[in-house]
């Protein structure tokens, strides 16, 4: 796809769990979606909205009931593409323990490249680079079982990185983590996106994580119902409430302040940005 800036494309994507479309449960109902190369996208939505089903289509763990998914131009329905698609689009799941396959961190990270048939000297370099990229290089000889939840998830991300993917798809990777672990993982993803240009597709139910994305996609009942920059999406408070979603606390605070007559920018979505806005208002009065 020369000149095509799209990493992932879904066209009229339908996915039905069950024997067929007429008698099964439809999880995705005609999803049309484009994600650009190097973009950081967060996908949010209530339970049962189809987020996780969509995530599994992005590296061909699931195949369309109808419609199609293209990953860097490769159609997931074509079996000849599966190996390359899964190398190109790495997947990180909710529970890092389910992805650990070895008793030593560096061996766990090496598992993927070994399956690709990479030469041992290159595997060593990939493992070293991947652990450094997620800030876990000092734990290469540690047992994963003694790591914190956030550290385990960073090792899981390193295992994907060692495959040298162009896209990382994460299905609620912070759902089981404490605030410190969540912060570690989100900082790691932001750094990989900005410094290495890796496309990040982050499925989350934490609204405050979505404020850092380039774009937020909202799913409801198997459809994409809203897509845009965080400032635009989180200004639709009534729509989000209708779909069973809340807005981040800072966005709610900004909304309350604006209704009270304070000229607070809608772009202030993090605590730091809101503090700056309040300081600006204080100094202008």
Q: Which domains does the chain have, with CATH numbers?
A: 6-235 (3.40.50.300), 248-285 (no CATH)
User: pTM for the full model?
Assistant: 0.87
Contact of 200 with 168, CB cutoff 8 Å: yes
pLDDT of 206 = 87
d(CA 149, CA 146) in angstroms, rounded, equals: 9
Q: Count CB neighbours of 282 within 10 A.
A: 8
CA count, 13 A, side-chain hemisphere, 179: 1
Chunk the chain into consecutive blocks of 10 residues (it has 285) and report each block's average pLDDT, rounded to whole numbers.
Answer: 81 89 85 96 95 95 96 96 92 88 94 90 95 94 93 94 94 90 91 94 91 94 96 89 87 84 82 84 75
Q: What strands lie across the sheet with 74-75, from one edge to the other?
A: 25-36, 6-17, 66-71, 74-75
Give pLDDT, residue 167: 96
Give pLDDT, residue 276. 85
Q: What pLDDT is recorded for position 285? A: 63
Burial of 227 from C-beta contacts in 10 A (0-12 / 13-18 / 19+)? middle
Find the helix or strand (DSSP H, E) in which 4 lies. none
């Amino acid at each position: 796809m020369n000149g095509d800036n799209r990493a992932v494309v879904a066209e009229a994507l339908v996915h039905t769990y069950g024997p067929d479309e007429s008698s099964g449960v439809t999880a995705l109902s005609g999803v049309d979606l484009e994600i650009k190369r190097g973009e950081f996208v967060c996908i949010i939505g209530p339970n049962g909205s189809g987020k996780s089903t969509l995530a599994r289509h992005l590296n061909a763990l699931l195949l369309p009931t109808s419609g199609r998914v293209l990953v860097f131009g490769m159609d997931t329905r074509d079996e000849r593409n599966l190996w390359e698609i899964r190398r190109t689009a790495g997947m990180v799941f909710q529970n890092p323990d389910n992805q650990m396959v070895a008793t030593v961190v560096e061996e766990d990270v090496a598992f993927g490249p070994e399956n690709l048939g990479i030469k041992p000297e290159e595997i060593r370099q990939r493992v070293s680079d991947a652990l450094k990229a997620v800030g876990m290089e000092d734990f290469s000889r540690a047992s994963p079982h003694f790591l914190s939840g956030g550290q385990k998830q960073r090792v899981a991300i390193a295992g994907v990185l060692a495959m040298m993917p162009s896209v990382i798809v994460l299905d609620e990777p912070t759902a089981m983590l404490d605030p410190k672990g969540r912060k570690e993982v989100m900082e790691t993803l932001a750094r990989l996106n900005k410094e290495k240009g890796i496309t990040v597709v982050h499925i989350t139910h934490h609204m405050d994580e979505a404020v850092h994305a380039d774009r937020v996609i909202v799913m409801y009942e198997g459809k994409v119902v809203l897509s845009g920059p965080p400032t635009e999406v989180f200004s639709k408070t009534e729509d989000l409430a209708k779909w069973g979603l809340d807005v981040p606390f800072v966005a709610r605070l900004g909304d309350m302040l604006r209704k009270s007559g304070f000229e607070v920018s809608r772009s202030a979505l993090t605590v730091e940005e809101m503090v700056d806005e309040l300081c600006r208002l204080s100094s202008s009065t």
